[in-house]
Amino acid sequence: MLIGQTQVTGIVLSCSPVGDYDRRLVIMTKELGKITAFARGARRPNSSLIAATQPFVFGKFEMYMSKKYINLRDVQVVNFFSELRSDFEKVSYGLYFLELVDYYIKEQQSDINVLKLLYQSLRALMSKSIPDELVKCIFELKLISYNGEIAYLNNCIGCGNEEEMVGFSFAKGGMVCSNCINGDASAMRLKKSTIYTIQYIVYSKIEKLYTFTLKEDIIKELTLFMKYYFEINVEKKFKTLEMLSVM
């Protein structure tokens, strides 16, 4: 990590109070990956950083990097996601997305695709043309695919055959054919449309992700699929997800 002043583009994932007047920020950036920075005096009533050091803020962050700490000097805000903040349900989805990125991405791990995915997903939440639950499923699935999970989608993870897939094995982490699904207690049978949707989300560019919607029954099955996947593969319990479950 270079010492000195630098500018990065990113989104604030979380903030917490430090001392009497400071804030500790976790920011997903384009240039440095996920970083922890300190905004000195950001909690003072007259601070120019008070509004710019909140979750969801997207912009350009002026930093001074020393051997031990990264200190925030200034922020040029590009998007506050104000519309998102005014809706309790949508802001809960958004906070879940931030928490999920914070969980999956390690400190100083650089992944511009994750930053782009997060930004586009927050924008999609503000759209009325796509259901929030579908936005959530797309975000979750694309994020775990960037993490190297769910690799076998076009051929059976059990036997390798490329015949028509009929479900997903949570134990093996891939699609299975009609022969291999029998006897696999961890497998979930899926409709053809759900399988196609999963394949489309994983293999499509980010710009193509939020250009479609689905029938309600497919959204429900996709939601159940993601629920089972996280229950089996992720030990962490996300506070924001628990908030959404009681809505």
Q: Are residues 49 and 148 in the same domain?
A: no
Region of residue 96 (phi > 0: left; psi between -120 and 50: alpha; otherwise: beta): alpha
Residues 6+ apart with CB under 8 A from 173: 149, 150, 151, 152, 157
The three-point CA angle 162-167-171 to 5° equals 100
- pLDDT for 111-162, tens place per residue? 899 999 999 999 999 998 999 999 999 999 999 999 988 878 999 999 998 8
N- to C-terminal Cα separation, the chain: 43
pLDDT at residue 68 tops 70: yes
Q: What is the domain extent for residue 42? A: 4-80
- pLDDT for 170-219, tens place per residue? 999 999 999 999 989 999 999 999 999 999 999 999 999 999 999 999 99
pTM: 0.94
Q: Where residue 22 sits, what CATH number does that domain have?
A: 2.40.50.140
Alpha carbons within 13 angstroms on the beta-carbon side of residue 75 total 27
Is the Cβ–Cβ distance between 80 and 56 less than 8 Å? yes
Q: Are residues 40 and 143 in the same domain?
A: no
Taking residues 15-31, what's their average pLDDT?
96
Q: Are residues 118 and 155 in the same domain?
A: yes
Q: Where residue 203 sits, what CATH number does that domain have?
A: 1.20.1440.120
Q: Are residues 138 and 43 in the same domain?
A: no
**Last residue within a domain, chosen from 16, 47, 80:** 80
Q: Are residues 220 and 104 in the same domain?
A: yes
| DSSP class per residue in 106-136 | PBT---HHHHHHHHHHHHHHT-SSS-HHHHH
